[in-house]
C-alpha cells in the first residue's frame, strides 16, 4: 500500500489522574520506585505484558478503569506524592557555581547508545547503560547537559535459541508512538529536521526529544518516507555489520547531531564524545565555531580541542571502529573544502600514520582523540591500557605521559537497587540516601542495619530472581509445546535457599563465560552437594556475527541440559536491563572472568555490589580498585599472561579452589540457624563501597570538576573579544609547527661521576639550538629516573631547566640542579616541549629529545 494516511487515538485520561500521562513522558519515572508502583498498580499483569512501557501501557487501559482510579482516594494520594517529588526535582538549584553554562550552551553528550530503560531499544550493552546512567545522574546533579543519539526502531536484537542451543536473532520493530518521544521544535515552533550529504543522497533526519528528568535527549531518525530505503535503514538497527551503514550512522550521529543542536539554538560550550562512534561531531563543531566567531579553521580547531571531552571504552581492538578511508572520504570531503585543507590532511586526523599518504585505516577513536583535549579511559587499569594502546598518536612520548587519564565508571544506584533494599536503606540512612547529598557518614550507617533484616530482604530478591527464571523457562518450553512433566520440571527449577551465582554479560570470547565449565565434573559436584549446593544463572548475548561467542553459549546450554544439573543451571535468554535488574538484585555471588586486561570497567559488578551481591572476579576493570578481602574475592592475581590456554587453566583452578574453600563455606556458615555472619558483613562492605565510591553521581561530578568546568572556562576565555585568545593560540601553534623541526638539544652533561652520596646535589647543563623559536616558546626539561635496562627508565620524572646563558646564533645554555634523594643507578637525558597549556604541551610531534 502506498500513500497511507494515519491518525491516532489517544486515551482520554480524566482530569484528576491526567498527571499519569505527563509522567509517562518523562523517563524520571523509571528510577523512582514510587512512580513505577503507581503505574503498576493500575494493572500489574498488563504492565508486564506491555514490557513496563508506560506509554503503551496507558494506551491499553480502558476508559472505565481510569475513571475508577480518578475516584479512588488511595490512588490519588499515591499519585500526589509522586507528583510532589517530580515537581521538586525541577525546583532544585544546581550546585556547580564555577560552571557558567546557560541553557543555550549546554554540555552536549553524544553517544551511539543510551540504555535508560528496557522499553527503549536504544542500546546494546554496557556502553549504552553507562550513557543512560550519565544522563540520569546529570539530571539529579542539575548539570546543564543535553544528550544526542539515534532513534533505533529495531534496537540491537532480541535473542532466542533453537533446539540445539544456537542463538537466533530477531528484530522486532518498535512503534514510535509507543515511545515517550516528542518532535523537537525550534524557536518558531517548527518541527526540526536536519540534513547531511552522503554518497547515497541527502540524508534527512527528523529530530525527536526524550525527557530524562530535567534533561533532554535528542534522537535522530531517518525513517521518513522521502528517504531512500538505504537511508531509512540508517537508524534501523544498532551495530549492523554493514560498514556502509555504520559510517552513515556515525556521520549522522556526529554531524547531524551537531546540526540538530544548532537548529535548536544550542551552541554547546562543551561536547562529550562517548566512544569513537560520535567523533565526527568534532568536524561539524569546528564549522560552527568558524561561523559563529568568524575565525579560520586553525583557531576553531584549537577552540574545539580545548572544549571537547573524549572517552574510550574498550581495550579490545575489535571494539574500535576502523574504516577504509575511501568509505569515509565522500562524507567528509566538503569539510576539507570548508577548512581549506587537503583531503589527505583531513583523513590524517583519523589515521595513525599522520601525513603518510598510504591507505592506513581511518580510526574513529583517533579522530576523537585528535579533536579533544580531555581524554579518559573508564577505570584505572583501563587508563593504563589506553595510554599504551594509543601511544602511537604521540611519537616519542613515554607511554606514562600519554595524555589519557581515567575516570572510573559508576552506576545509577536508584536504577538498579531493589525496591526492598531501597526501603531498608532509606530507613537506616536517610530519605535522600541515593541523592546528591549522600555523605560518607551516611554511607557508614549501612553497618547499623540489622543482619537479619538485610539477609531477609536479600532472600526476597533471590526468590524474585528464581520466580523470573521459572516463568521464563515455562514460557520458553510452552512455546515448544513441551509435555506436562517437562513444564512441571522447569517451573520448579532452582531453589530458594541455595547459593546463587550469576554471570551476565556479552558473550565475547575474552569474557570467558565458560571458564566455570573448564572442569564440568568438578562443577557438577559443587552443584549437587547434598549439604552445600550451588546454582547458576547465566544470561547474555553474542554479537550476531560472533560465532565463537555463540559456541560458548551453546556449550553452556548443553551443560545446563545435563540430567544431573538441569534443576540448578539456567540460561535466561534475551538479556536486557530488566533481566539485569533481577539478576544483580538476587545474586549471592556475581561472577566475572574476563581475560585481563580486556575488561574496561565491568559496571554490572557494581550494580551487584549495590545490592549486596558479592563479587567473585578476575582483578580487571573496576575490581582492581574495588577489591579488598572484606568485600569479595579476587580470582588469580595481578598477573598478565602471554599463553592464554595456560592462563585459562590456572585461573579456572583458582576459581574452583575459591568456590570450594572460601565462597561456599562462608555462605553456609549458619550458627544456630542465624544468617551467615561474615557473609552479611561482606554484603555491607560491598554496599558501602558501591555507594561511596562507584555511583554515577561520583562519576559525573568527576567529569564535571576535571573536564566540563575547565572546558567551559576555555570556551569563555578563548572566544571572548572576537575570539582573540583562540586566534592567538592558533598562530602560536602554527609557528611551533613550522619552526619546531629545526630545534636541536645536546646531550646534557654533569660533573664527573665522583661517587655521589644520598643528599648530594649537582648541576646538569645542556645546550639547545632553537632556530627561529625563542626561549619563551619552549620548556627544556631533564628527564631522569632509576635505570630499568640499558635504555629504559623505570618511571621517568621531569624537572624544568632554567635558561643560564645565550651564546648567540640562537644557541642557549640551560641548567638545573638535581638532588640525589635515593641510592641506586639512574639515567637522565634532556628534552624540549612547547610552553603553554597542557594541551599545547602534549601536541603530538612536538617533543624533541637530546641527541
Ligand atoms: C550494566 C549492564 C551492562 C554492562 O555490564 P558489564 O559488566 O560491562 O558487562 C550490560 N548490559 C546490561 C543490560 C546492563 O544492565
Q: Is the peptide bond between 705 and the residue preceding it cis, with omega within 30 degrees of 0?
A: no
Q: Which residue intervals of 627-784 are DSSP H helices?
A: 644-658, 664-667, 677-693, 696-703, 709-739
Q: Does the pLDDT at position 13 exceed 60?
A: yes
Distance from the first to the final alpha carbon of the chain: 75
More confident residue, 208 or 827: 208
Ligand 1 pocket test: pick from 502, 587, 603, 694 the residue with the most ligand atoms within 8 Å of its Cβ.
Answer: 603
CB 577 near ligand 1, within 6 Å: yes
- Residue 100 within a domain: no
- Which of these ranges, 18-32, 335-349, 570-584, 756-770, has the smallest mean pLDDT? 756-770
Residue 201 to residue 227: CA distance in whole angstroms? 9
Residue (of 657, 627, 384) closest to 519 by Cα position = 657
Average pLDDT (683-712) is 97
Q: Does the pLDDT at position 485 exceed 60?
A: yes
Range of the domain at 511: 416-693
Same-domain pairing of 749 and 651: no
Nearest CA to ligand 1 atom 11: 125
- Residue 259 within a domain: yes
3-state secondary structure of 550: helix
Residue 25 to residue 650: CA distance in whole angstroms? 51
Same-domain pairing of 600 and 553: yes
Ligand 1 centroid to 433 CA: how many Å? 24
Residue (of 494, 405, 326, 410) closest to 136 by Cα position = 410
Helices H / strands E in the chain, number of each = 32, 28
- DSSP codes of every residue in 179-232: SSEEE-B-TTSPBPEEEE--TTS-EEEEEEEEEETTEEEEEEE---TTS-HHHH
pLDDT of residue 7: 73
Nearest CA to ligand 1 atom 15: 577
Four-residue CA torsion sign, 76, 79, 85, 89: negative
CB 315 near ligand 1, within 6 Å: no
- Residue 2 within a domain: no
Same-domain pairing of 530 and 576: yes
Residues 663, 664, 669: CA angle, nearest 5 degrees: 105
CB 834 near ligand 1, within 6 Å: no
What element of type H or E holds 400?
Answer: none
Ligand 1 atom at minimum distance from 604 CA? 7
Average pLDDT (607-616) is 98
CB 232 near ligand 1, within 6 Å: no
Same-domain pairing of 434 and 572: yes
Residue 331 to residue 347: CA distance in whole angstroms? 11
Same-domain pairing of 688 and 706: no
Nearest CA to ligand 1 atom 1: 604
- Which of these ranges, 173-182, 354-363, 777-786, has the smallest mean pLDDT? 354-363
Same-domain pairing of 604 and 683: yes
Q: Is beta strand 308-311 parallel, antiparallel or unpaired with respect to 271-274?
A: parallel
- Give residue for cell 574498550: 314
Q: Does the pLDDT at position 357 exceed 60?
A: no
Ligand 1 centroid to 14 CA: how many Å? 39
pLDDT band (50, 70, 90) for residue 753: confident
CB 125 near ligand 1, within 6 Å: yes
Same-domain pairing of 749 and 717: no
Same-domain pairing of 651 and 552: yes
- Mean per-residue pLDDT over the chain, rounded: 94
Ligand 1 centroid to 302 CA: how many Å? 36
pLDDT of residue 289: 98
Same-domain pairing of 641 and 590: yes
- Residue 525 within a domain: yes
- Residue 10 within a domain: no
Same-domain pairing of 815 and 830: yes
Nearest CA to ligand 1 atom 9: 505
Ligand 1 centroid to 636 CA: how many Å? 23
Query: 457-474 pLDDT, tens per residue?
Result: 999 999 999 999 999 999
Ligand 1 pocket test: pick from 316, 604, 605, 695 the residue with the most ligand atoms within 8 Å of its Cβ.
Answer: 604
CB 580 near ligand 1, within 6 Å: yes
- Give residue for cell 553459549: 553
Q: Which residue intervals of 400-481 are DSSP H helices?
A: 413-416, 419-428, 440-444, 451-479
Residue (of 360, 282, 343) closest to 110 by Cα position = 282
Query: 231-270 pLDDT, tens per residue?
Result: 999 999 999 889 999 999 999 999 999 999 999 999 999 9
CATH number at residue 389: 3.40.50.2000
Residue 729 to residue 707: CA distance in whole angstroms? 20
Query: 764-773 pLDDT, tens per residue?
Result: 999 999 999 9
Average pLDDT (674-694) is 98
Q: Does the pLDDT at position 502 exceed 80?
A: yes
Nearest CA to ligand 1 atom 3: 126
pLDDT band (50, 70, 90) for residue 1: low
Within 10 Å of residue 192's Cβ, how many Cβ atoms?
A: 21
Ligand 1 centroid to 337 CA: how many Å? 42
Strands (E) located in 698-850: 744-745, 761-769, 778-789, 792-800, 802-806, 811-819, 826-834, 848-849
Average pLDDT (584-601) is 96
Ligand 1 centroid to 173 CA: how many Å? 22
Ligand 1 pocket test: pick from 580, 622, 690 the residue with the most ligand atoms within 8 Å of its Cβ.
Answer: 580
- Residue 807 within a domain: yes
Q: Does the pLDDT at position 732 exceed 90?
A: yes
Same-domain pairing of 209 and 340: yes
pLDDT of residue 353: 67
- Residue 28 within a domain: yes
Average pLDDT (801-828) is 92
Residue 479 burial (CB < 10 Å; 0-12/13-18/19+)? exposed
- DSSP codes of every residue in 439-451: -HHHHHGGGGS-H
382: CB partners within 8 A, 6+ apart: 315, 406, 597, 600, 601, 621
pLDDT of residue 359: 54
Ligand 1 centroid to 412 CA: how many Å? 12
pLDDT of residue 352: 85
Query: 631-667 pLDDT, tens per residue?
Result: 999 998 888 888 999 999 999 999 999 999 999 999 9
CB 581 near ligand 1, within 6 Å: no
> What pTM value is reported for the model?
0.96
CB 652 near ligand 1, within 6 Å: no
Percent of the chain, pLDDT > 90?
A: 86
Please count the CA atoms within 13 angstroms of the CA of 109 that sit on its side-chain side: 27
Nearest CA to ligand 1 atom 4: 126
Residue 632 to residue 515: CA distance in whole angstroms? 19
Residues 293, 294, 296: CA angle, nearest 5 degrees: 110
- DSSP codes of every residue in 325-366: HHHHHHHHHHHHHHHTS-HHHHHHTT-SSTT--S---EEHHH
pLDDT of residue 99: 75
How many domains does the chain divide into? Answer: 4
pLDDT of residue 97: 65
Residue (of 354, 351, 381, 378) closest to 365 by Cα position = 351
**Given 91, 122, 150, which residue is the final one in a domain?**
91
- Residue 96 within a domain: no
Q: Does the pLDDT at position 11 exceed 80?
A: no
Ligand 1 atom at minimum distance from 506 CA? 9
Query: 516-535 pLDDT, tens per residue?
Result: 999 999 999 999 999 999 99
Strands (E) located in 85-166: 107-111, 145-150, 158-161
Same-domain pairing of 160 and 275: yes
Average pLDDT (344-365) is 81
Contact 140, 697 (CB under 8 A): yes
Amino acid at each position: 500500500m502506498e500513500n497511507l494516511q494515519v491518525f491516532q487515538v489517544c486515551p482520554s485520561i480524566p482530569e484528576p489522574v491526567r498527571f499519569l500521562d505527563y509522567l509517562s513522558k518523562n523517563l524520571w519515572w523509571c528510577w523512582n520506585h514510587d512512580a513505577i508502583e503507581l503505574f503498576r498498580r493500575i494493572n500489574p499483569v498488563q504492565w508486564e505484558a506491555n514490557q513496563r512501557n508506560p506509554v503503551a501501557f496507558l494506551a491499553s487501559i480502558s476508559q472505565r478503569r481510569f475513571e475508577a482510579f480518578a475516584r479512588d482516594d488511595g490512588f490519588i494520594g499515591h499519585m500526589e506524592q509522586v507528583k510532589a517529588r517530580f515537581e521538586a526535582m525541577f525546583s532544585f538549584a544546581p550546585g556547580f557555581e564555577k560552571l557558567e553554562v546557560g541553557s543555550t550552551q549546554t554540555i552536549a553528550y553524544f553517544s551511539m547508545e543510551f540504555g535508560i530503560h528496557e522499553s527503549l531499544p536504544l542500546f546494546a550493552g554496557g556502553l549504552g547503560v553507562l550513557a543512560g546512567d550519565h544522563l540520569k545522574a546529570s539530571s539529579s546533579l542539575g548539570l546543564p547537559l543535553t544528550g544526542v543519539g539515534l532513534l533505533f526502531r529495531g534496537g540491537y536484537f532480541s535473542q532466542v535459541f533453537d533446539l540445539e542451543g544456537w542463538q537466533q536473532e530477531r528484530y522486532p520493530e518498535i512503534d514510535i508512538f509507543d515511545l515517550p518521544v516528542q518532535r523537537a521544535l525550534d524557536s518558531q515552533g517548527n518541527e526540526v529536521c536536519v540534513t547531511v550529504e552522503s554518497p547515497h543522497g541527502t540524508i534527512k533526519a527528523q529530530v525527536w526529544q526524550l525527557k530524562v528528568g530535567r534533561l533532554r535527549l535528542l534522537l535522530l531518525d531517518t525513517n521518513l518516507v522521502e528517504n531512500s530505503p538505504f537511508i531509512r535503514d540508517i537508524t534501523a538497527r544498532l551495530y549492523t555489520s554493514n560498514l556502509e551503514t555504520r559510517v552513515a550512522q556515525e556521520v549522522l550521529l556526529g554531524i547531524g547531531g551537531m546540526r540538530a543542536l544548532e537548529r535548536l539554538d544550542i551552541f554547546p560550550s562543551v561536547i562529550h564524545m562517548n566512544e569513537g562512534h560520535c567523533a565526527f561531531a568534532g568536524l561539524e563543531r569546528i564549522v560552527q565555531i568558524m561561523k559563529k566567531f568568524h575565525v579560520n579553521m586553525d583557531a576553531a580547531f584549537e577552540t574545539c580541542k580545548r572544549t571537547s571531552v573524549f572517552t574510550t571504552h574498550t581495550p579490545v581492538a575489535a571494539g574500535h571502529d576502523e574504516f577504509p578511508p575511501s568509505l569515509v572520504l565522500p562524507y567528509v570531503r566538503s569539510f576539507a573544502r570548508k577548512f581549506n585543507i587537503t583531503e589527505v590532511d583531513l583523513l590524517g586526523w583519523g589515521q595513525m600514520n599522520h601525513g603518510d599518504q598510504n591507505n592506513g585505516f581511518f580510526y574513529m577513536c583517533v579522530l576523537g582523540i585528535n579533536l579533544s583535549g580531555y581524554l579518559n579511559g573508564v577505570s584505572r587499569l583501563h587508563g593504563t591500557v589506553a595510554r599504551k594502546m594509543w601511544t602511537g598518536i604521540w611519537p616519542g612520548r613515554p607511554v606514562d605521559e600519554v595524555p589519557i587519564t581515567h575516570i572510573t565508571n559508576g552506576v545509577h544506584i536508584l536504577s538498579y537497587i531493589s525496591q526492598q533494599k531501597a526501603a531498608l536503606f532509606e530507613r537506616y540512612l536517610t530519605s535522600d540516601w541515593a541523592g546528591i547529598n549522600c555523605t560518607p557518614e551516611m554511607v557508614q550507617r549501612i553497618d547499623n542495619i540489622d543482619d537479619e533484616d538485610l539477609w531477609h530482604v536479600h532472600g526476597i530478591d533471590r526468590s524474585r530472581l528464581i520466580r523470573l527464571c521459572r516463568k521464563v523457562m515455562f514460557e520458553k518450553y510452552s512455546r515448544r509445546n513441551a509435555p506436562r512433566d517437562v513444564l512441571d520440571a522447569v517451573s520448579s527449577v532452582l531453589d530458594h535457599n541455595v547459593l546463587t551465582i550469576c554471570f551476565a554479560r556479552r558473550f565475547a570470547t575474552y569474557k570467558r563465560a565458560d571458564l566455570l565449565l573448564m572442569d564440568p565434573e568438578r562443577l557438577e559436584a559443587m552443584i549437587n552437594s547434598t549439604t552445600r549446593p550451588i546454582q547458576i544463572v547465566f544470561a547474555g548475548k553474542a554479537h550476531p556475527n560472533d560465532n565463537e561467542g555463540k559456541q560458548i553459549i551453546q556449550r553452556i546450554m548443553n551443560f545446563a541440559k545435563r540430567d544431573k544439573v538441569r534443576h540448578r543451571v539456567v540460561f535466561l535468554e534475551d538479556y536486557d536491563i530488566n533481566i539485569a535488574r533481577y539478576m544483580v538484585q538476587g545474586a549471592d555471588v556475581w561472577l566475572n572472568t574476563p581475560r585481563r586486561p580486556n575488561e574496561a570497567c565491568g559496571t554490572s559488578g557494581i550494580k551487584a555490589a549495590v545490592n549486596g551481591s558479592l563479587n567473585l572476579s578476575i582483578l580487571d576493570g573496576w575490581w582492581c580498585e574495588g577489591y579488598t578481602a572484606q568485600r569479595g574475592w579476587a580470582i588469580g592475581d595481578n598477573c598478565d599472561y602471554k599463553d592464554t590456554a595456560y592462563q585459562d587453566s590456572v585461573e579456572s583452578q583458582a576459581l574452583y579452589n575459591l568456590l570450594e574453600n572460601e565462597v561456599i563455606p562462608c555462605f553456609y556458615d549458619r550458627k544456630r540457624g542465624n544468617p551467615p555472619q561474615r557473609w552479611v558483613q561482606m554484603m555491607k562492605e560491598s554496599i558501602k563501597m558501591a555507594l561511596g565510591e562507584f555511583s554515577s553521581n561520583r562519576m559525573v561530578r568527576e567529569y564535571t570538576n576535571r573536564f566540563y568546568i575547565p572546558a567551559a572556562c576555555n570556551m569563555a576565555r578563548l572566544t571572548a573579544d572576537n575570539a582573540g585568545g583562540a586566534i592567538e593560540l592558533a598562530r602560536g601553534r602554527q609557528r611551533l609547527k613550522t619552526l619546531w623541526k629545526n630545534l636541536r638539544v645536546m646531550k646534557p652533561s654533569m660533573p664527573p661521576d665522583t661517587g655521589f652520596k644520598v643528599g648530594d646535589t649537582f648541576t646538569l647543563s645542556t645546550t639547545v639550538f632553537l632556530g627561529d623559536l625563542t626561549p619563551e616558546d619552549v620548556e627544556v626539561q631533564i628527564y631522569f629516573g632509576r635505570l630499568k635496562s640499558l635504555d629504559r627508565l623505570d618511571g621517568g620524572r621531569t624537572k624544568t631547566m632554567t635558561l643560564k646563558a645565550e651564546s648567540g646564533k640562537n644557541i642557549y645554555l640551560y641548567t638545573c640542579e638535581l638532588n640525589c634523594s635515593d641510592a641506586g643507578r639512574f639515567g637522565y637525558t634532556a628534552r624540549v616541549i612547547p610552553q603553554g597549556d597542557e594541551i599545547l604541551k602534549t601536541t603530538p610531534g612536538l617533543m624533541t629529545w637530546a641527541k
